[in-house]
Structure 1
């Protein structure tokens, strides 16, 4: 429990970008508690398998999770950026036919993006995984929670785009305003270049050649583009409308909207607090199923 409280206290910093040239300023603070929704948490205790550190690629070692009951047929590989390994372990326990790599590189999307600008680092990670998994790897998926989208974006901008079957973003996709720190309500505009890679991915997902699932909360950072605004940007770019809904999501989350076209899916959820944000990470086991639910 203490781990999750500490994680909640840090979550806003983790969601922000750093102040280097590829980053943005820290967001306006959001409430750290919320008492309407249950905010249930998973702990990975049901995972049975091997946990193998992978050294020599990044400053912090990724952790490979290989379930004991992994099937003989080609294995789906999930490369997840940002989040406690126990949450990913729970997702592996709840979804058969998957192995996963958990990559935690620090605070802010730049901490994730910069190391993946060089495609050889991702190549090395996949090579190391292949050496440990004796069964053939079929489809490769990326997932990113919060600041982890920085790594996903960097990979999508390289030649490795062609290797990726699909992407899952868990309340993590941001951009800068132009002028900087000027919200749209005050005349600012979204910096399109920050979302160009995801705009391409969304278009390919609509056509069915990729899969793209994006979940977002209602948090409004103020100093940079919110996940809701990023979702609106992608919906406008693809010509897809939001469908309002009111239903319960995983672990007691409250879903407010859905947009689906081809293999592109956006799910909108209530909440503007740190616990609401963390809900998306702990819902990984549920959202992961949407990657295989192709139209």
Structure 2
């Protein structure tokens, strides 16, 4: 159930902020309803400025992998550590993610993967369980060519924005690959289909139930995090896709699986974001934010660096 088709540059965002993500396509699990389009959002936000940093390349070394691109910040390359953390980010402008890593966790290596429109494109390569492990090894080999020493990954953190959750779900769906992941951060980045008959875009008086089977890999991770065995951090907006479950819907389903309730709060977040709710238990944290425009959705991607610094989850 994809979100935005491609990483959004800030000039394009200003042009298209009146609707959520043009061309996003929903791949419904029921064959009869495949290829349903997301309902376009007419909402725009002129209340907050949604600041965006100018594009710039962080200092470091880069190399192209079989899937994605490796970035080793200058600080990490100079240290030549035997062990170092790895962050793998799914869906998001590479220069921006590299900037986040170079400033927030400069001792970590980064792999960014961008595969275009739809969560299905992110899920497909990782349907082969061997692909994730092979990519981790390939990244270690490439890092060795940069630093002169092949690192052991001290931790593996997966971060995703928007449609990138398709890859995260595929990786977590296999026990062996899930075991290699220490931390997951979803940035307004978790959807599911509805349990529905007929046309999901047809008028209705209320939303159907979330198809919780779409969330199985995430509910397992949430349980592990709530027990202190993993770390799972989720942020979500109030964007309403209409033809499939929103990030608010799926967040509520995860909370129900843990027997947790949201606590209402009113806090400032990065970029002037407005936090409205939260839920926490051990290594599990969920933060709900106001906003149902495209700009509100993109804020979560731009805020990643602030959250990495605040949460200190990459070790």
TM-score of the two chains, using structure 1 as the length reference: 0.89
Cα gap change, 1:86/1:17 in structure 2, threshold over 3 Å: closer, same or farther? Answer: farther
What's the CA shift string for 1:165-224, capped at 9, x where partnerless?
010000010011111527995362111110111000000000011110000000111110
RMSD (Å), alpha carbons:
2.5
Question: Partner of 2:132 in structure 1?
Answer: 122
Match of 1:82 among 91, 107, 112: 91
- CA offset at residue 128 of structure 1? 1.2
Question: Of residues 172, 180, 187 in structure 1, which corresponds to 2:189?
Answer: 172
CA distance in 2, matches of 1:246, 1:73: 43
1:48-98 superposed Cα distances (whole Å, 9 cap, x missing partner)? 10121113xx4xxx1111001014363211111001001211111222322
Counterpart Cα distance in 1 of 2:38 and 2:307: 26
Deviations 1:82-136 (A, max 9, x none): 0100121111122232211110011010011111110122122111100022333
Correspondence for 2:169 among 140, 153, 167: 153
Q: CA deviation at 1:146?
A: 0.3
Structure 1 residues 260 and 206: alpha-carbon distance in aligned structure 2, compared to 1, 3 A threshold = same
Picking from 107, 110, 114, the partner of 2:120 is 110
Is residue 278 of structure 1 aligned with residue 298 of structure 2?
yes
Match of 1:36 in 2: 47
Task: Indicate the SS of the match to 2:44.
Answer: coil
Whole-angstrom distance in 1 between the partners of 2:64 and 2:30: 31
Mapped pair 1:257 → 2:277:
yes
Report the secondary structure of 1:52's partner residue.
strand
Q: Does 1:215 align with 2:235?
A: yes
Query: Bigger shift: 64-73 or 136-145?
Result: 64-73
Name the CA distance, whole Å, in 2 between partners of 1:156 and 1:14: 27
For these two proteins, the number of residue pairs brought into alignment is 288
What residue ranges of structure 1 are gaps of 5+ in the alignment? none
- Whether 2:71 is the aligned partner of 1:65: answer yes
Alpha-carbon distance, 1:292 to partner: 3.5
CA distance in 2, matches of 1:154, 1:185: 33
User: Which is worse superposed, 18-27 or 100-109?
Assistant: 18-27
Bigger radius of gyration: 2
Equivalent residue in structure 1 for 2:59, among 16, 31, 48: 48
Gapped regions of structure 2 (runs ≥ 5): 1-7, 144-148
Q: CA separation in 2, counterparts of 1:143 and 1:14? A: 23
Distance change >3 Å, CA 248–CA 200, structure 1 → 2: same
Q: 1:266 matched to which residue of 2?
A: 286
Please tell me whether residue 3 in structure 1 is matched to residue 13 in structure 2. no
Using the alignment, how far apart are the partners of 1:7 and 1:125 within structure 2? 32
The structure-2 alpha-carbon separation of the partners of 1:188 and 1:138, relative to structure 1 and needing over 3 Å to count, comes to same
- Distance between the aligned counterparts of 1:184 and 1:151, measured in 2? 31
For 2:214 and 2:253, locate their aligned partners in 1 and report how far apart those are by CA, in whole Å. 11
- For residues 282 and 35 of structure 2, what CA distance do their matches in structure 1 show? 32
Find the counterpart in structure 1 of residue 3 from structure 2. none
CA positional deviation for 1:18: 4.0
Q: What is aligned with 1:12? A: 21
How far apart in 2 are the matches of 1:14 and 1:101? 26
